[in-house]
Amino acid sequence: MIFYDCSTAPNPRRARMFIAEKGLEIECHDISIAKGEQLGAAFKAINPNATVPVLITDDGTTLTENLGIAAYLEAAHPNPPLMGGTAEEKGLVLMWNAIAEQQGGMPIAEVLRNSNPFFEDRAIPGPVDYAQVPELAARGLDRTVRFFDLLEQRLQTSRYLATAEFTLADISAFVFVEFARVIKTRIPEGNTATLAWHAGIKSRPSAQV
């Protein structure tokens, strides 16, 4: 397998943590978004959508989305399980992973990409240049605050986000919570359950990769 990473971006970090939790050692190539390497001809020959992460499987299949990468690795390397065991658990993991992406990752990205001068005319990842929309940044900030409230409500009654065990959903939410620093947003001091959850994941070896 070959893994195309970016050390500074949240989505590759999600895949990187999943790989580390599985205890796998995979050939890795870092693609610098800061240098625009994802837009170069060499990388677009691998992924025409010009996004990372990318995993090339043992049989040469190209997987370009986190969920696809996770599903492949879970099937190929089922232990430790990170996507649930029972039918209910599998549904909960995918549900909470989607919530983390749509209600956490997306609004944080909206703020960053529609307010930071570095992303001028690059408001959406991929091969097409899109202009920034400042109104989306304001909306994204509000949505991010609501995401932190949602996490706290859930974690007040559950040690982990989706099930009683650490899963893909925790990886996604953790990475987005950490990445929120780029829009100057942190876990509120009063969100004690979220702070404890974050500290527990932060202590895992996979959080250091």
Kindly report, residue by residue over 73-119, the tens digit of the pLDDT. 999 999 999 999 999 999 999 999 999 999 999 999 999 999 999 99
Provide φ and ψ at 30, rounded to 5°. Answer: -85, 125
pLDDT for residue 83: 98
Kindly report, residue by residue over 5-17, the tens digit of the pLDDT. 999 999 999 999 9
Would you put residue 151 in left (φ > 0), alpha (ψ -120 to 50) or beta?
alpha
| In the chain, where the domains are located | 2-76, 87-208
pLDDT for residue 76: 97
Inter-CA distances, 96 with 21, 26, 105, Å? 19, 27, 12
Give every residue of the chain whose pLDDT is below 70, as ranges.
none
Count of Cβ atoms closer than 10 Å to residue 54 Cβ: 23
For domain 87-208, which CATH number applies: 2.60.40.420, 1.10.3720.10, 1.20.1050.10, 1.10.357.10?
1.20.1050.10
CATH number of 2-76: 3.40.30.10
Q: What does the block give as tokens for 165? A: 């065990």
Q: β-strands 27-30, 62-63: how paired?
A: unpaired
Inter-CA distances, 87 with 100, 111, 157, 158, 165, Å? 20, 36, 21, 19, 15
Q: β-strands 27-30, 2-5: how paired?
A: parallel
